[in-house]
Chains A and B, each alone.
Chain A
Amino acid sequence: MSPAVIDMSVTWLLPLTVFLPWVGAAAVLVAGRAGRTLRALAITFAVADAVLSILLIPQASSRTGFSLVLGGAFGELSFLPDGFGVYLAAVAAVIGCLAVIFSVDYMRGEEGQSRYYSLVLFFIGAMSGLVLSANLLMMVVFWEITALCSWALISFHNDDPKAVAGGIKALIVTGLGGAGLLAGALAIYAQIGSFDIPTFMEKAGGFPPQLLAWIGFAFLAAAAAKSAQFPFQTWLPDAMEAPTPISALIHAATMVNAGVYLLARFAPTFSPVPGWSLSVLLVGMVSAFLAASMATVANDLKRVLAWSTVSQLGFMVYAIGAGAVFQSQFHLLSHSVFKALLFLGAGAVIHSVGTRDMREMGGLARSMPLTCVAFLIGALALAGIPPLNGFWSKEMVLESGLASGPFWAYIVMLVTVGLTALYTLRAVWMVFFAPPVAQHAHEAGPAMKTALIPLAAGALVSWLLAGPFHDLFLRTLPLHFPEAHAEAAGMAATWTAALEVLSAPATWLAVGVVVVGALVWAGRSGFAWIGTRLRGLRRVAEAGYGFEAINHGISKAVEGTGEGLRVTQSGLVNWNVGAMVIAVIVLLGIVLLVGGLGG
């Protein structure tokens, strides 16, 4: 195809990929009552968008594909179909499509389905817009829209106070970080007069170092909050009140990736800032370790998966901190697939058994065979067992961490790998293989199976895309990969990389740790004495290492201040006029003093 034709098709393909789901959202809202029309509309739009996003991949380029000027401080609506953007948009759209299909069975019979599907479609469009944006204002807009959808879907069951509280908490905690993104974007605008991302990344070298540092750390805060990293991790477990397909889509496979995406995109700009890369690495490392430890003691299945997500995102952030952007994105791809798989599998289990507590499950391998196999595949990928996708990407992350990061950090990550194996095996055993506690359990419905099977297949084979994936990055991200030499293109690169991984000693060390983790679980009765000794630590871990207490303290303090302030609204007109008189006297005093001094 000639370049002109490519450009033309990208120009309409980009806004279509972002905004078609929004059209679908409006259509679904109008369709109103639940029924076949509603579901058909939702599925049609979701599938259409998935197809469009896949069509976008070959069109990837390093040039802005679409631009619409909005004027002044409002920048322009522009999209850039580069490596990060197209693959994350495809992930969002494809997993979104599978989540919608899964929801057909999961949400059957529920109230407010038009609201549900409308919000999901709205979210998919916003997520695509976020990753494809070439303009910081638009990125902030889409960032906040995903937060809005996340809140609305977490508190979907509005009658449940836990869900409502979880939704508000999610929005406020991610919003705190979002303030960092907003401030950073505005600071960039103040400095160069434009919100355009490629322009900023080119001119970043000319920024005063102090300013660049502030922006870099502000962006780090925003990313940490969105990806539920330390110290903003408290919202994700509470977000598990959402219907499980939402947990799979938003809180495992797409929205939480936004933080990692942000760090990856701006990594070459901020890595010269002293202390930035190390901070990123530390944030990732601490999150990975703490979250893994909390997953080990959790009894709610979705909570385990939530902490697991935080932990795996920690691996990705750690990789970026060590300068390994490609490896982090590859792990992100693997993680999206297997984590969505795990959550949807968990959704099937929860839907069938009616509880989220793993202690009330058990023996489900017999009654839910397909779900069990799917979940097991996801679990093996998470634990990092070859030849599943999680193994390859995690090993790449660890290797790059060993090569360019501090050694002690590598050791912590290695221990985390062991913990990962431990909690994964624990979860699988408690749900599927423990002595049965649950009375009635039925296999997943047909729509659920339709969503689970492709994801399971993906977990088995997605690692094969490593080569083309790398090519995509080399081709479209000149700032990240300045030395884009002609490498072995396509699948050949995959095999090269695979051989590299298999032959590295670090790999076998990691596999060994995984085996150790598994053995610890298998022989846990023998290790019970460790459990009693560490009981205090367990309690601390269950309580979230004090972060929950901090959150609680802050909200109570704010409410208390508000309550205390109510005294000023006394209802007495005399007091009201009194306030006015005091204001006059004080203001006169200030004004005359300053004015008298010649201000």
Chain B
Amino acid sequence: MSVNIWTIVMVAVFGLVAIGLYGLLIIRNLIKVVVALQIFAKGTILVMVAAGAMSGKPAVGQSLAITVLVADTVVTVMALALAIQVRRWSGTLDTREISKLRR
């Protein structure tokens, strides 16, 4: 087998990314949208780790992954805060309902 283990890992991780994106397409609950975004993000972080390993610099890849993790946490906190506010002032978490701004 001449296929690198890390190539398989990459493909699997891109699969995770695809699941996250697919979730963003069909999910209607705002909290679940955040979850889908998270799946997408974690997949990307794993790509970072795999990339580091593939290119022979695992340490760099991992430290980058941790940095992204931190940045992503901030974004998640903000997203959830916004979701709470939306629930409070619009009374719903359904993406179809919070689509008043259109055309």
Contacts and interface: CB of A to CB of B under 8 A. Distances in A.
Do chains A and B directly touch (beta carbons under 8 Å) in the complex? Answer: yes
A570 B95 contact: no
A570 B103 CA distance: 6
B40 to A, nearest CB: 10
Interface stretch (B20-28, B55-63, B68-76): B20-28
A31 B100 CA distance: 47
B95 A573 contact: yes
Interface residues of A, number: 11
A569 B103 contact: yes
A578 interface: yes
A572 interface: yes
**Chain A binding surface, main DSSP class:** helix
A440 interface: no
Contacts of B27: 574
Contact of B102 (A569, A578, A581): A569
Given A566-B103, A569-B102, A571-B99, A577 B28 contact: no
Interface residues of B, number: 14
Contacts of A567: 103
A571 B21 contact: no
Nearest to B21: A581
Interface string B33-66: 1000000000000000000000000000000000
A578 B24 CA distance: 8
A330 B77 CA distance: 78
Contact of A574 (B26, B100, B103): B26
Contact of B24 (A566, A569, A574): A574
A28 B28 CA distance: 60
A572 B25 CA distance: 10
Nearest to B101: A571
A571 B100 contact: yes
Interface in A326-370: none
Contact of B99 (A566, A572, A578): A572
A570 B99 CA distance: 8
Nearest to A565: B103
Contact of A581 (B25, B100, B101): B25
Contacts of A572: 95-96, 99
B102 A571 contact: yes
B25 A577 contact: yes
Contacts of B99: 570-573
Interface string A548-579: 00000000000000000011011111100110
B22 to A, nearest CB: 9
Interface in A368-383: none
A523 B25 CA distance: 80
Contacts of A571: 99-103
Contacts of B100: 571
A566 B24 CA distance: 23
A577 B96 CA distance: 14
A572 B28 CA distance: 10
Contacts of A578: 25
A570 B95 CA distance: 12
Contacts of B96: 572
Nearest to A584: B21
A578 B22 CA distance: 9
A429 B70 CA distance: 87
A574 B21 contact: no
A577 B21 contact: yes
A570 B27 CA distance: 16
A581 B33 CA distance: 15
Nearest to B26: A574
B102 A574 contact: no
Contacts of B102: 569-571
23 contacts: A566-B103, A567-B103, A569-B102, A569-B103, A571-B100, A571-B101, A571-B102, A571-B103, A572-B96, A572-B99, A573-B33, A574-B24, A574-B25, A574-B26, A574-B27, A574-B28, A574-B95, A577-B21, A577-B24, A577-B25, A578-B25, A581-B21, A581-B25
7 shortest interchain CB distances as A-B pairs: A571-B102, A571-B99, A566-B103, A577-B24, A572-B99, A569-B103, A573-B95
Interface of B: 21, 24-28, 33, 95-96, 99-103
Interface of A: 566-567, 569-574, 577-578, 581
Given A566-B103, A581-B25, 4 more contacts: A569-B102, A571-B99, A572-B99, A578-B25
